[in-house]
Structure 1
């Protein structure tokens, strides 16, 4: 028996502390999420106000245009940055340079689609009638 009396006294507390840490790590986040999700939102709402969120078709298309252009520009910028990183770290490797050229080509296509998004959405708006 190599354990000292002090180590034997400390061992049960360590197990209890480990169990408590596990409970906090695995039980607390789902419990907090359940508490937030189960709180009725109607309890906090003003019963006298009714807001309808319906927009006209031109407004919906305009909102889609803004979102699509933003997403395409962000993705194209990401590809442009990746192309620069690939090219800078290529070190003369032809495969890495080809990978950088492909990423740059994808970035340019993304920017082109972002510029053409208003035209494409006008076509869609004309097809669905707005």
Structure 2
């Protein structure tokens, strides 16, 4: 009895996936442009904003992870050191995010815009 339950679950999942694939509506081809940059300056501004956002967001996640790890360490020196390492990594991430405008300026100089 135990071996048939996983098989039934797997068969139900496969059946559901097949039904969803067979009944899917094909995508309509469209030429709608969602993001249109009017100038090269706008492109560089968008790159800077995306780079800053991704780096700062990732650093925030790492900082949060390190904080949770520090709280759950319960005095264990190895876990406290791992949490401190996460804090250092988050600091590097915030530092790189702060340098995002400089990176975009260097890129702008290479492109010649």
Over 3 Å counting, the alpha-carbon distance change for 1:108 and 1:23 in structure 2 is closer
Root mean square deviation of aligned Cα: 2.9
1:89 & 1:53 partners in 2: Cα distance? Answer: 47
- SS at structure 1 position matched to 2:68: helix
- Specify whether residues 86 and 51 from structure 1 end up closer, same or farther in structure 2 by C-alpha distance, changes over 3 A only: closer
Aligned residue number for residue 77 of structure 1: 60
Larger RCO, structure (CA 8 Å, separation 6 or more): 2
Gaps of 5+ in 1: 1-17
Give every structure 1 segment of 4 or more consecutive aligned residues whose post-TM-superposition deviation is greater than 6 Å: none
Post-superposition offset of 1:51: 9.3
TM-score, normalised by the number of residues in structure 2: 0.76
Q: 1:94: how far off?
A: 1.4
Give the length in aligned residue pairs. Answer: 104
5+ residue gaps, structure 2, are: 1-8
Q: Which residue of 2 aligns with 1:103?
A: 86
User: Equivalences for 1:1-130 in 2 at 5 Å?
Assistant: 24-33=15-24, 35-37=25-27, 40-42=28-30, 53=36, 55-130=38-113
